[in-house]
Homo-oligomer: A and B are copies of this chain.
């Protein structure tokens, strides 16, 4: 059986505080387990736990390694998909750039390994079996701790010369003289409206000391939304600011990549009823799409999107692959 026709795969979705391990069959996650880990740890020290978990899950589901196309890794940073190396880690798993993950997968499981940026892998998943099914030109944005982005044009992931294209959607500047971002830029979508930036944004809002938010120990979007709904003026102003930022970022992504569909995911979308209609209306009014309207949809697959992206990633004909 040709490798690319196998319909099972192993998948690992690595985040700042978790590694979700899974066995996937087609578009289904048939078994998964989330390991809680500390992103400050060395990835080298986490790999044995991941290997054990993958062995346990395959045993449980009676899937043989040889039935799998390979292992797909989703990584929260910039990666070289051609040679399986991590290029930049953004302060998580700082040893990852030194690791030979394809070598580890060969030795541990006799399987090929592909690695992809987590947002790109989630886009692949949403295209394979979620909100972007049957589309070839797709932009995905994830609104959460950071702001993720990914783009596909004519059925091919936009990766770019240094594997940065598309996935810096959260770092498009939308505000002149705006807030300084962790990335070094000014007024990025992420600096203006992400969970990490939110407490500072609130504290800088005029009237904060009189706001009900001043009593909250950790301000996140769930809290913000509650206080806004209760009529707190500061919470409402910040919430509106964030909606404006996300909407401007969405238009920027549409103007940059010319998609048919925009998929919005991430933790903020737990409150999709307050987020999605605003962005949809803004795009309809302000995006320059002479051909018609971009479909704007909530992500369908939630935390499973990157896992379900495993099979399409492993089946892709990656130009210039050197593994």
Instruction: Please state if A256 and B258 are interface contacts (CB–CB under 8 Å).
Output: no
> Within 8 Å of chain B (Cβ to Cβ): is A290?
yes
The interface stretch among A5-13, A216-224, A244-252 is A244-252
How many Å lie between the Cα of A176 and that of B137 in the bound state? 27
The interface stretch among A27-35, A36-44, A153-161, A196-204 is A153-161
Instruction: Please state if A244 and B184 are interface contacts (CB–CB under 8 Å).
Output: no
- B-facing residues in A130-146 (Cβ within 8 Å): 136-137
Given A186-B248, A187-B248, A248-B186: A256 in contact with B172 (beta carbons within 8 A): yes
**Copy number in this complex?**
2
How many Å lie between the Cα of A259 and that of B88 in the bound state? 17
Which residues from chain B contact A192 at a C-beta distance below 8 Å? 176
Of the candidates B162, B177, B185, B258, the one whose C-beta lies within 8 Å of that of A160 is: B258
Interface centre among A136, A159, A187 (most CB of B within 10 A): A187
The interface stretch among A110-118, A207-215, A281-289, A303-311 is A281-289
Please count how many residues in chain A sit with their CB below 8 Å of the partner chain's CB atoms.
51
Closest to A176 in B: B175
A176 smallest CB distance to B (angstroms): 5
Instruction: Please state if B286 and A186 are interface contacts (CB–CB under 8 Å).
Output: yes
Instruction: Please state if A252 and B172 are interface contacts (CB–CB under 8 Å).
Output: yes
Instruction: Please state if B289 and A256 are interface contacts (CB–CB under 8 Å).
Output: no
Given A78-B290, A185-B286: A255 in contact with B172 (beta carbons within 8 A): yes
Instruction: Please state if B168 and A161 are interface contacts (CB–CB under 8 Å).
Output: no
Given A78-B290, A158-B153: A258 in contact with B165 (beta carbons within 8 A): yes
> Within 8 Å of chain B (Cβ to Cβ): is A65?
no
Of the candidates B158, B164, B175, B260, the one whose C-beta lies within 8 Å of that of A175 is: B175
A-B contacts, 6 listed (Cβ < 8 Å): A87-B291, A162-B258, A163-B258, A164-B255, A171-B255, A176-B248
Residues of A participating in the B interface, judged by any CB pair closer than 8 Å: 78, 87-88, 136-137, 153-154, 158-166, 168, 171-178, 183-187, 192, 241, 244-245, 248, 251-252, 255-260, 285-291, 319
List 9 A-B pairs, minimum CB-CB distance, nearest first: A160-B258, A137-B161, A165-B258, A168-B255, A162-B291, A183-B288, A164-B258, A256-B256, A185-B286
